[in-house]
Structure 1
């Protein structure tokens, strides 16, 4: 709780509370590739069933902050072979894709467009002063009030992307 009352939850608690955004966590090694716009496809073992407009990028330790967001052009399951064919857009080698997918034949894939950098990236501790936020294991559906707070805190700004779709 803050001195002014209850802190809003980052995670949407109902369909009415859902924003048009999800937060996805990334290992810190992805920071530069995402910020430069070199990545236009992101594979994940779990993706949401519903469509969302924005994918907010939380980069894990040692950065530990929401560093940007990208427009989601589509989110769907793709085959392992399709993922391998997208290796350059994903930013992984064929071997890394096989290793990540494991024994499965399919994987979730976000195709992203324009990337917006957080001009004022906020670490988890700073976010938690206003929003009850824990970086997700796979994804988190952002509540409407939390999205507004994070947008105001982060000051997102479009960047020209090397490989992203418009």
Structure 2
């Protein structure tokens, strides 16, 4: 028995494709809804003074944003999770943030364009870009949770 045979071990780590797609699908839209409602809350707080009753309303808005974001962002989130699992992206460095943002931005853009083909106007371009940026940010935050950390 040589030293090569005794120490030869092959470790194959399988990429968790199902886990990535599932977590993106379950959390991606809800996180996007939370990001959007948080932005609206911050703008409201900056423009107006708030009371204790308003703070309770803001918590209700966050919960409603997560629920509606889940349903509205379900398809783009699954598409983002599918693309991330096909590319086998690992979240092991800050360099991986930019491709995740691009994947989330693009999948959100594709879904918005697909649903809004007949009502495209130049006025809605800013709104579309804003929603696509929220999709990209949601892809990054969800990637922190769903993607494997070490290669």
TM-score (norm 1): 0.25
Question: As a proportion of its length, which structure holds more helix?
Answer: 2
Which is strand-richer, 1 or 2? 1
Answer with 1 or 2: which has the greater Rg: 2
Q: TM-score, normalised by structure 2?
A: 0.27
